[in-house]
Structure formats: structure tokens, C-alpha cells
Amino acid sequence: MTTSGPSDRPEGGTERQNWVERRREKIRAEIDRNRRGDYTVPTWVLALALVLIVGGWLALIFLA
């Protein structure tokens, strides 16, 4: 197992600042898309809806 030394990557503060800035830019871009009406439903929401529909249908079949 190898560990990266301090010379292998930039300082943690700079790396974290870059991550925060990228995250902010992604959020800004998403807000802009939503304002234009280009929003999409996240995949996990669609999967949850499908599970609830199938579960309700099965409950009706087996509990009726």
C-alpha cells in the first residue's frame, strides 16, 4: 500500500477551494437551467416512483 506524500498533490486549502468553486459553478449552472425550463427529474426520484407504484400494485394483489 502506497501513500501519497505532500509533494504529490497541491496544498489541501487550494484543493478544497477549487472543489468549492467547482461545486458553486455546478449549482449556478443548474439554477440557470431550471429557470430556462430545462430541468430534468433525477434518476433516483424516477426509481423511487417506480418502486412505489409496483409495491402498491403488488399490495393490492396480495392483500385483496
Amino acid symbol at 41:
V
Please provide the distance, in angstroms rounded to a whole number, between the alpha carbons at the two ends of the chain.
58
Distances (CA, A) of 24 to 8, 15, 41: 26, 14, 20
Instruction: Tell me the whole-structure pTM to 2 decimals.
Output: 0.45
Q: What single DSSP character describes residue 41?
A: -
Using one digit for the tens of pLDDT, what is the confidence trace for 23-64? Answer: 999 999 988 888 888 778 889 999 999 999 999 999 999 998
pLDDT value at residue 34: 82
SS (H, E, C) 2-35: CCCCHHHCCCHHHHHHHHHHHHHHHHHHHHHHHH
pLDDT for the residue 3 = 57
